[in-house]
Chain A
Amino acid sequence: DAGVIQSPRHEVTEMGQEVTLRCKPISGHDYLFWYRQTMMRGLELLIYFNNNVPIDDSGMPEDRFSAKMPNASFSTLKIQPSEPRDSAVYFCASSLAGGGETQYFGPGTRLLVL
């Protein structure tokens, strides 16, 4: 299996632009998670899905952030409009159902908003 795939790996954009991050989970995994990592705030869970349905989006910082999972093999995290404080590494992770199943992380997208 190729593991969790994220694209792009690096993104540099200007303030006010729309940013779309993409994730392909491991085939067969029921859960998908989006995280943000910064030096100041560490690793933060933004939102997670179960069977393509958002379960908990309480970590989404504000309305500028939105996430979708139109099917079992694809998810997007969108920031519109982007701001410099959104600069971070964004991780996608997936896991099988069940309480003990391990989360597998993608390589992350490093976002820089100028």
Chain B
Amino acid sequence: AQTVTQSQPEMSVQEAETVTLSCTYDTSESDYYLFWYKQPPSRQMILVIRQEAYKQQNATENRFSVNFQKAAKSFSLKISDSQLGDAAMYFCAYRSATSQFYFGTGTSLTVIP
């Protein structure tokens, strides 16, 4: 079975600075999809960004970008110009070819004003 590992339970960043959240995964599949979700205190799970494994180009959504290293099975999230509203739990997720989803244990991000 696939596994998703987030090795940073907690991270903090100064407002307006950049922070990178790490994620690694284990799979034998060649075709899959990766996601980052954000869960603020409201508990709502919100999609931040997604990446197709067959694409070499890293996905970008405004201040959010990923560093996808397929050979290394690494999928980190970079948040630029951090804002107070970015404070949340961030989950890395993997979707297999059979549409099964696997989530990491999450990284709690604190933004310091």
Contacts and interface: CB of A to CB of B under 8 A. Distances in A.
A48 B99 CA distance: 9
Contacts of B106: 42-43
B35 interface: yes
B99 A102 contact: no
Contacts of B52: 100
Contacts of B31: 99
A105 B44 contact: yes
Interface residues of B, number: 26
Chain A interface size range: 20 to 34
A37 B42 CA distance: 14
A100 B43 contact: no
A65 to B, nearest CB: 18
Given A31-B99, A42-B103, A99-B95, A91 B50 contact: no
A33 B35 contact: no
Contact of B101 (A45, A89, A97, A100): A45
Interface of B: 31-33, 35, 37, 42-47, 50, 52, 91, 93, 95-103, 105-106
